[in-house]
Structure 1
Amino acid sequence: MDADPAALARAVVLRQLTNSPKSRLQLARKLAERNIPEDVAGAVLDRFEEVRLIDDAEFAQMWVRSRSQTRKLAKGALRRELAEKGIDEETAAGALEQVSDEDEEALARELVVRKLRNARGLEDRAERDKSVRRLVAMLARKGYQPSQAFRIVGEAVAAALEEADSDA
């Protein structure tokens, strides 16, 4: 006996939303994995949107807040992640407005300073260059622009060297 596809779809969506908030596209993909017919999936997802259990704008806001704070991601990386989750450009842009350029820069600086605390041998040019490359690469993976990453890392390394000189 086959279960009612709509009942199965509702159960799948509810279970997914219990674990964590999801975008409509993520839920549609889950339903497709479970071989729920597209028309049934669409109707169930429409109903969940009507009762505001699915809200891509709210999801995008939450995603940006969470990922910018916990992972220190730049707007570029956040925009890519939202697109992968099916969030349209306009909704993503609205959610990204909550991260100012100053906030983004402060998050990058915080990351770099934390990594530099354990850095050794910055006085040696080769070691310093290696640290700079690693730190810039880390920021690039988090979506920061190369020019911004080099500037922030350069300023932080200079400050670390000054601090080391004043301690000596």
Structure 2
Amino acid sequence: MASESAVPESADREPVVAGSGAVAGSLAARTGAGSGSGKAGAERTPLQRAKAICFDLLAARPRTKDELRQALRRKGFDEDTRETLLGKLDDAGLVDDAAFAEMWVRSRHTHQGLARTALVAELRRKGVDGAVAARAAEAVDRDAEEQRARELVRKRLRALGGVDEQTAIRRLLGTLGRKGYPQGLAYRVVRDELAAAGADTTPLDDAPPD
């Protein structure tokens, strides 16, 4: 009998857009905004130093406008410098919260199995406007959400081995709940998948509605 801990869940990872670092690096080179050091770095204006920090961050992965804003705030840049630079980056298309949200939804739903509720919550924590986050999450329709929930339950079932049915139900519902799936959908999916596996699903007969 396989133990539950034998198949650990993979750690969450930030999505990465191919080529984003190259784009930021190319723009940094053209504008002289590389991180630099020494006397040349010390003589740069606050705006130039802030720009170099943002390009370094964007070279690693895409960022929301608020992520860059908070990074600059932590580095001690004043509000005027922060907002002036963010406006320039926005105009240049280097920060686009709507595009970021779309990318985030695709990646986190596909690789981490997050439901729409959890996706919106994550985007809001990154400073994305609620309406923008909700529109991006609409890319995951009800059918896609249910299919991903079933995949998660089947994977989890393989890791549970021979645990009793009550324990299996509790852990499966917990898995879906932590990923933001509605209670009604979670109960229905768990009931269906346990039934397909030949388990007793009587405790799930009075499942809440979706």
Task: Give the TM-score, by structure 2 length.
Answer: 0.72
Match of 2:8 in 1: none
8 A Cα contact 1:108 1:139, kept in partner:
yes
Structure 2's unaligned 5+ residue stretches are 1-41, 200-210
Please point out which of 97, 111, 114 is paired with 2:155.
114
Query: Which 4+ runs in 1 deviate beyond 6 A?
Result: none
More helix by share: 1
Structure 1 contact 5–37 (Cα < 8 Å) conserved:
no
In the alignment, what sits opposite 2:104? 63
Structure 1: tracts of 5 or more residues without a match: 163-168
The corresponding residue for 1:93 is 134
1:154 aligns with 2:194: no
Q: Which residue of 2 aligns with 1:134?
A: 171
**3-state SS in 2 of match to 1:86:** coil
Distance 1:110 1:130 in 2: 19
Aligned residues: 158
Deviation of the 1:148 alpha carbon:
1.2
Which amino acid in structure 1 is aligned with residue 68 of structure 2? Answer: L
What per-residue deviation string (whole Å, max 9, x for no partner) do you get for residues 37-89 of structure 1? 11001000000000100000000000001100010000000010011011112
Question: 1:93 offset after TM fit, Å?
Answer: 1.8
Q: What amino acid maps onto 2:131 in structure 1?
A: E
Contact 1:22 1:59 in 2 (8 A): yes
Give the Cα–Cα distance (whole angstroms) in 1 for the partners of residues 56 and 124 of structure 2: 23
Counterparts of 1:24-43 in structure 2 under 5 Å? 24-43=65-84
TM-score normalised over the length of structure 1: 0.90
Aligned partner of 1:89: which letter? G
Describe the superposition over 1:14-33 as per-residue Cα deviations: whole angstroms up to 9, x where unpaired. Answer: 01111111100011000001
